[in-house]
């Protein structure tokens, strides 16, 4: 077949002079492709209804960390590192050792920065420091461009969060069409601007085509120009990216059309080209490697290098029988609980992604809609409903009636606030009643009862999850097998195995879902834990598992539970029908978890601003109920590593709640199936979290959400700083820093993988995502050396010895547990 | 190849990373195609080596094959847009003539 294609483009992006004949349909399709590619200036923003941590420079993953953190960050006007001055400060304080800097310089070769020809560490370092770049000039601000940003932001806010608006701006014509219709009658626009607007094409792609045609740009420049426009509002662009793939009611073409139309009618220039990054990619990589050496080395020194053939870990031969085994989420906050509960009693622990392999849309009892309770890397495979247990229907009805009444009461209280005409009058009318309550809540958080979420049932009736309606028995068996084999738990089951999800109880915190379980899609983890436990208890599933070689004794029962990471209280669910023996074990476990939680609370409060170690239980309860609290907990701040291997690697080591822990038994996974799953999913999620904390710390203005104290909510979409402006993506300042400085240490993720090198290499070779992460230096991957002596690190050119230096003179958070 | 009694059309098949599949489908829809078929998790061997299917817990680390059929007169614009996309994203495109039995489905 021969298709007549449009003429190749020499110079100008459009094949036909748009001003004369109008763009051809082929040109418009090209323009659409340009707009889509230009979106790559920033990654997706998932909103606050189900906040998910993500690398804001994810579209530049393949370019590698060095290039992304310099050129990619500069493209959106951001810093991708703490900068030359920040690194110098660390050097002066001793946090970066000159020996580490020299080692990074030697290892990374002899660039001009590295001081070629120098011999001693001091000479190399001095040559490097002498080559410090000058600070780039600040970008020039253009008043008209800022007016374009401002008008675009205001319309985007109204259009994106349409459900929250008293008066809708949507007219069903799409983002550009709706804006155009309003702008044509907008009295705040001058008549000349409205006349210019009438002359613009009615099609969104036509507006872009006309804008580019007027500038006679070649492909590269046209693409850069569109990227520069989108980079003026990285927050809205980021939200647009996600929305164009999910709701699909907007795309880059529509958004750019409004932006370019505003530019035209306001007479604004195109945005200036981004200022060159302060650091070269190579210089950044040298500094960053030196800056994270102390933290990573301390961790490596604390671990025992495993030798192949070790009988270690999770489902393997355990040294002492366990009264119960607790499987926690890989979240760094679980490390503290695991460490403490192991110290309290004869318990074993494992780590697994907190959705427990159940990729489902879960509809809790009383909820109007289902929640995607799985990592955003996955689409839900099943829809599972929570229902009252047999015999509990009357209680459920009562609870639901109360719940709905409560929602209706809240809704009627808030309805007048939302109405333009009645908000002030309602404040006058209701102030006598609500004012004292507000004062009481402010002065004495928790006085009105324990913190709960308004969208959750207060008194939950006994429920179950309807697995059989959602999954066939074969699917249940397969899911159960995946759960067990991926974490290496295939034999020697304890009498009670507790699957422990996690969630955070806070009050009035827009970022509450950012504290919930990321593996559960930014939701609380109890449902997934209960579903997985029910699955593993089902007789048909056990029968199927036995046929596949996994025998779970009848004396073993699985239970689901949840760790509240604000209060460190642990709830164990579905204990109503336990046998006497199991009741005894669970009672003891509850008591020991209370002790472990108490120890963990004291440990955590020591790090929290205003944390008082005396009365820790009351303090965390107060924080959970305090509607003005900006530091309910630290979340995943200070995360620095993921350890994929058996618990024997880390048991007894205080990892300072800084490591993701994923259980893995290298001896049981000879085909590398489980490791492939771990490296293509939990490792990716851990990297996203690590990158979000990193970038929110190094540039809290562009990649972070700024201070919580001046946030205004835009529906469930996100927050603005003040009434207008760009949508704030990333984490708020109070998640990564205090007035004294950074709380989160911006280091890349160290991935310690206890597996044969060949197995890891095969996965790197076959999976783009793993290759990009490891060879692109987003993640530093370390494994036990093949000869069992020390560690080796995977670099682009193969494996190299990784010898952790002794940095006991420096502050670290990893120490041997007493 | 044309088959008697059937109507000739242009079939466009695109294999890209799953993260780029939305951009492909947007091109198809905006070019006036009445539909497309999307096959996520395709496997094979190509320019960038072997590709496994969808990972167990990661739908995004995979390739997606998107297939559409359009009348011949709509094909050039669609192909032009997809070529522009594939200049900057990894992937391949196959264009062929096919015969369809219900041409009004594709008009």
Q: How far is CA B33 from CA A474, B8, B64, B68, B99, in A?
A: 39, 15, 18, 7, 16
Angle between helices A673-680 and A682-698 (to 10 degrees): 20
Please judge whether A33 and B84 are an interchain contact, meaning their C-beta atoms are less than 8 angstroms apart.
yes
- Structural tokens at position A278: 């302060």
Residue of A8, A520, A768, A770 to mutate, interface with B, max B Cβ within 10 Å: A768
Instruction: Determine how β-strand A653-654 pairs with β-strand A718-721.
Output: unpaired
Digit-coded pLDDT (tens) for A351-371: 999 999 999 999 998 887 899
Please judge whether A25 and B77 are an interchain contact, meaning their C-beta atoms are less than 8 angstroms apart.
yes
pLDDT above 50 for A640: yes
Q: Chain A contact for B101, CB < 8 A? A: no
Please, are residues A435 and A479 in contact by the beta-carbon 8 Å criterion?
Answer: no
Please, are residues A802 and A790 in contact by the beta-carbon 8 Å criterion?
Answer: yes
pLDDT at position A143, please?
A: 94
Rounded Cα distance between A513 and A521, Å, is: 9
Give the A:B interface size as CB pairs under 8 Å: 113
Give B71→chain A minimum CA distance, Å: 12
Please judge whether B88 and A37 are an interchain contact, meaning their C-beta atoms are less than 8 angstroms apart.
yes
- In chain B, which residue's Cα lies nearest the Cα of A678? B57
pLDDT at position B52, please?
A: 76
Q: Chain A contact for B44, CB < 8 A? A: no
C-beta neighbour count of A393 within 10 angstroms: 12
Q: How far does Cα B50 stand from its chain's mean position?
A: 20
First-to-last C-alpha distance (Å) of chain A: 75
Rounded Cα distance between A609 and A735, Å, is: 11
Give A359→chain B minimum CA distance, Å: 8
Please judge whether B77 and A26 are an interchain contact, meaning their C-beta atoms are less than 8 angstroms apart.
yes
Rounded Cα distance between A554 and A518, Å, is: 33
Please, are residues A342 and A324 in contact by the beta-carbon 8 Å criterion?
Answer: no
Please judge whether B26 and A251 are an interchain contact, meaning their C-beta atoms are less than 8 angstroms apart.
yes
A680: chain B residues, CB-CB within 8 Å? 55-58, 61
pLDDT above 80 for A815: no
Helix H segments across A136-173?
143-160
C-beta neighbour count of A64 within 10 angstroms: 19
- Structural tokens at position A385: 């409903």
Q: Which residue in B22, B55, B81 is closest to A677 by CB distance?
A: B55
- pTM over 0.80, yes/no: yes
Q: Chain A contact for B55, CB < 8 A? A: yes
A5: chain B residues, CB-CB within 8 Å? 76, 79-80
- Per DSSP, the residues of A718-778 read EEEESSSSSPB-S--GGGTEETTEESS---PEEEEE-S-HHHHHHHHHH-HHHHHHHHTTS
Residues 6 or more apart in contact with residue A481 via CB below 8 angstroms: A544, A545, A548, A550
pLDDT at position A397, please?
A: 85
Please judge whether A676 and B55 are an interchain contact, meaning their C-beta atoms are less than 8 angstroms apart.
yes
- Structural tokens at position A346: 């004869």
- Does residue A296 have a known ligand-binding role? no
First-to-last C-alpha distance (Å) of chain B: 20
Tallying the residues shown for chain B, one arrives at: 107
Q: Chain A contact for B96, CB < 8 A? A: yes
- Tokens 């003891």 map to which residue? A588
Give B55→chain A minimum CA distance, Å: 7
Confidence of residue A249 (pLDDT cuts 50, 70, 90): very high
Q: Chain B contact for A251, CB < 8 A? A: yes
Digit-coded pLDDT (tens) for A278-302: 999 999 999 999 999 999 999 999 9
A216 in helix, strand or coil?
coil
A765: chain B residues, CB-CB within 8 Å? 49
- Structural tokens at position A456: 């959750």
Residue A506's nearest CA partner among A637, A636, A334, A623 is A623
Domain extents in chain B: 7-105
Rounded Cα distance between A560 and A478, Å, is: 19
Confidence of residue A265 (pLDDT cuts 50, 70, 90): very high
Rounded Cα distance between A751 and A792, Å, is: 12
Please judge whether A244 and B30 are an interchain contact, meaning their C-beta atoms are less than 8 angstroms apart.
no
Mean pLDDT of A508-527: 92
Please, are residues A781 and A787 in contact by the beta-carbon 8 Å criterion?
Answer: no
- Structural tokens at position A796: 């682009």
Mean pLDDT of B65-89: 97
Starting at the edge strand found earlier in the chain, the sheet holding A347-352 runs A347-352, A324-329, A496-503, A557-564, A570-572
Rounded Cα distance between A553 and A565, Å, is: 32
CA atoms within 13 A on the CB side of A310: 24
- Per DSSP, the residues of A372-390 read EES-TTS---EEEEEEEPT
- Does residue A502 have a known ligand-binding role? yes
- A348 has which bridge partners? A325
Please, are residues A587 and A572 in contact by the beta-carbon 8 Å criterion?
Answer: no
Digit-coded pLDDT (tens) for A389-434: 988 888 888 888 888 888 788 777 777 776 767 777 877 778 877 7
Give A648→chain B minimum CA distance, Å: 26
Q: Residues A24, A29, A30, A34: what is their CA dihedral angle, to the nearest 10 degrees?
A: 140
- What letter does residue B102 receive in the DSSP assignment? -
CA angle A508, A509, A514 (to 5 degrees): 150
Rounded Cα distance between A156 and A152, Å, is: 6
Rounded Cα distance between A661 and A354, Å, is: 11
Compute and round to an integer the Cα radius of gyration of chain B.
15
Q: Chain A contact for B2, CB < 8 A? A: no
Residue of B13, B63, B80 to mutate, interface with A, max A Cβ within 10 Å: B80
Residues 6 or more apart in contact with residue A705 via CB below 8 angstroms: A511, A696, A711, A718, A719, A728, A729, A730, A731, A732, A733
Digit-coded pLDDT (tens) for A561-588: 999 999 999 999 999 889 999 999 999 9
Q: Chain B contact for A246, CB < 8 A? A: no
pLDDT at position B71, please?
A: 97
- What letter does residue A523 receive in the DSSP assignment? B
Instruction: Determine how β-strand A641-645 pairs with β-strand A749-753.
Output: parallel
Phi, psi at B69, each rounded to 5°: -125, 130
B76 in helix, strand or coil?
helix
Confidence of residue A460 (pLDDT cuts 50, 70, 90): confident
Q: Which of A195-204, A226-235, A712-721, A766-775 bottoms out in mean pLDDT, i.e. has the lowest?
A: A712-721
Angle between helices A83-93 and A281-302 (to 10 degrees): 40
Q: Which residue in B17, B59, B89 is closest to A378 by CB distance?
A: B59
Q: Chain B contact for A126, CB < 8 A? A: no
pLDDT above 60 for A534: yes
- What letter does residue A69 receive in the DSSP assignment? I
Element (H, E) at A784: strand A779-784
Residue of B44, B57, B69 to mutate, interface with A, max A Cβ within 10 Å: B57
- Does residue A329 have a known ligand-binding role? yes
Q: How far does Cα A495 stand from its chain's mean position?
A: 35
Residue A301's nearest CA partner among A811, A807, A737, A809 is A807
- Tokens 């924080």 map to which residue? A623
Instruction: Determine how β-strand B49-51 pairs with β-strand A798-802.
Output: unpaired
Confidence of residue A10 (pLDDT cuts 50, 70, 90): very low
CATH fold label, B7-105: Alpha-Beta Plaits (3.30.70)
- Tokens 């993500």 map to which residue? A54
Residue A60's nearest CA partner among A78, A76, A42 is A42
Please judge whether A1 and B10 are an interchain contact, meaning their C-beta atoms are less than 8 angstroms apart.
yes
A13: chain B residues, CB-CB within 8 Å? none
pLDDT at position A817, please?
A: 37
C-beta neighbour count of A134 within 10 angstroms: 7
pLDDT at position A70, please?
A: 98
A716 in helix, strand or coil?
coil
- What letter does residue A519 receive in the DSSP assignment? G
- In chain B, which residue's Cα lies nearest the Cα of A377? B58
pLDDT above 80 for A325: yes
Q: What is the ipTM of this complex?
A: 0.94
Q: Which residue in B51, B55, B89 is closest to A680 by CB distance?
A: B55
Confidence of residue B46 (pLDDT cuts 50, 70, 90): confident
- Tokens 């009848």 map to which residue? A554
């Amino acid at each position: 077949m021969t298709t007549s294609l449009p003429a190749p483009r020499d110079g100008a992006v459009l094949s036909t002079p748009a001003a004369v004949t109008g763009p051809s349909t082929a040109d418009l399709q090209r323009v659409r492709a340009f707009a889509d590619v230009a979106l790559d200036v920033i990654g997706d923003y998932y909103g606050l209804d189900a906040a998910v941590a993500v690398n804001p420079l994810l579209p530049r993953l393949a370019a590698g960390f060095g290039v992304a953190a310099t050129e990619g960050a500069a493209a959106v006007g951001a810093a991708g590192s703490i900068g030359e001055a920040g690194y110098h400060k660390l050097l002066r304080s001793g946090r970066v050792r000159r020996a580490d800097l020299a080692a990074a310089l030697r290892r990374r070769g002899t660039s001009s920065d590295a001081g070629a020809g120098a011999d001693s560490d001091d000479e190399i370092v001095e040559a490097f420091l002498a080559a410090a770049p000058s600070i780039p000039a600040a970008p020039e601000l253009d008043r008209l461009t800022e007016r374009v940003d401002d008008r675009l932001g205001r319309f985007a806010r109204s259009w994106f969060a349409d459900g929250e608006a008293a008066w809708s701006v949507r007219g069903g014509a799409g983002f550009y069409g709706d804006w155009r219709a309003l702008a044509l009658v907008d009295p705040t626009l001058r008549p000349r601007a409205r006349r210019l607007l009438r002359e613009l094409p009615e099609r969104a792609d036509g507006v872009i085509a006309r804008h580019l045609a007027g500038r006679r740009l070649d492909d590269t420049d046209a693409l850069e120009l569109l990227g520069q426009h989108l980079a003026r509002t990285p927050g809205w662009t980021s939200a647009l990216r996600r929305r164009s793939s999910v709701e699909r009611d907007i795309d880059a073409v529509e958004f750019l059309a409004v932006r370019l139309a505003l530019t035209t009618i306001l007479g604004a220039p195109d945005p200036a080209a981004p200022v060159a990054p302060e650091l070269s990619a190579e210089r950044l990589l040298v500094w960053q490697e030196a800056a994270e050496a102390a933290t990573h080395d301390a961790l490596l020194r604390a671990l025992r290098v495993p030798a192949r053939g070790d009988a270690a870990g999770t489902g393997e031969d355990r040294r002492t029988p366990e009264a119960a085994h607790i499987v926690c989420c890989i979240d760094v906050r679980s490390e503290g609980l695991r460490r403490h509960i192991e110290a309290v009693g004869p318990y074993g622990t494992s780590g697994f992604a907190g959705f427990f392999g159940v990729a489902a849309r879960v509809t809790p009892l009383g909820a109007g809609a289902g929640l995607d309770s799985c990592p955003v890397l996955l689409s839900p495979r099943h829809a599972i409903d929570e229902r009252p247990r047999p015999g509990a229907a009357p209680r459920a009805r009562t609870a639901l009636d109360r719940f709905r009444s409560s929602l209706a009461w809240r809704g009627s209280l808030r309805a007048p606030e939302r109405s333009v005409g009645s908000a002030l009058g309602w404040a006058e009318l209701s102030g006598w009643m609500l004012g004292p309550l507000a004062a009481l809540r402010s002065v004495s958080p928790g006085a009105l009862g324990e913190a709960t979420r308004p969208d959750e049932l207060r008194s939950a009736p006994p429920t179950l999850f309807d697995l059989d309606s959602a999954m066939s028995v074969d699917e249940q068996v397969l899911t159960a097998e995946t759960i067990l084999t991926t974490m290496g738990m295939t034999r020697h089951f304890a009498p009670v195995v507790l699957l422990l999800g996690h969630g955070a109880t806070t009050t009035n915190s827009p970022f509450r879902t950012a504290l919930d379980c990321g593996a559960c899609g930014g939701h609380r983890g109890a449902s997934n834990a209960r579903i997985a436990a029910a699955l593993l208890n089902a007789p048909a599933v056990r029968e199927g598992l036995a046929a596949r070689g996994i025998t779970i004794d009848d004396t073993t029962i699985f239970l689901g539970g949840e760790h509240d990471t604000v209060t460190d209280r642990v709830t164990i669910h579905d204990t109503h029908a336990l046998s006497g023996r199991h009741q005894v074990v669970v009672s003891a476990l509850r008591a020991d978890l209370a002790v472990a939680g108490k120890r963990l609370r004291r440990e955590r409060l020591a790090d929290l601003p205003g944390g008082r170690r005396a009365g820790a239980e009351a303090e965390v309860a107060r924080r959970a109920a305090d509607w003005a609290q900006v530091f309910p907990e630290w979340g995943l701040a200070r995360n620095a590593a993921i350890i994929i291997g058996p618990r024997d690697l880390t048991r007894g080591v205080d990892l300072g709640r800084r490591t993701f822990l994923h259980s893995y038994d290298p001896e049981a996974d000879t085909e590398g199936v489980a490791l492939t799953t771990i490296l293509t999913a939990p490792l990716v999620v851990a990297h996203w979290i690590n990158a979000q904390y990193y970038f929110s710390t190094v540039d809290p203005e562009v990649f972070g959400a700024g201070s919580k104290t001046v946030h205004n909510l835009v529906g469930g979409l996100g927050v603005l700083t003040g009434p207008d402006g760009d949508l704030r993506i990333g984490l708020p300042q109070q998640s990564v820093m205090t007035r004294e400085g950074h709380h989160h240490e911006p280091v890349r993720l160290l991935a310690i993988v206890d597996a044969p090198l060949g197995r890891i290499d095969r996965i790197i070779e076959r999976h783009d995502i793993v290759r990009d992460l490891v060879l692109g230096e987003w993640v530093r991957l370390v494994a036990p050396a093949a000869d069992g002596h020390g560690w080796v690190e995977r670099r682009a050119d193969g494996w190299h010895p990784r010898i952790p230096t002794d940095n006991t003179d420096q502050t670290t958070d990893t120490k041997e547990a007493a | 190849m044309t088959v008697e009694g059937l109507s000739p059309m242009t079939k466009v098949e695109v294999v890209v990373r799953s993260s780029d599949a939305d951009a492909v489908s947007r091109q198809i829809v905006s070019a006036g195609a009445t539909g497309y078929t999307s096959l996520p998790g395709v496997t094979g061997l190509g320019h960038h080596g072997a590709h496994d299917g969808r990972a167990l817990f990661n739908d995004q680390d995979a390739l997606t094959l998107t297939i559409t059929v359009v009348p011949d007169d709509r094909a050039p614009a669609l192909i032009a847009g997809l070529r522009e996309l594939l200049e900057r994203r990894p992937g391949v495109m196959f264009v062929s003539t096919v015969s369809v039995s219900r041409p009004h489905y594709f008009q």
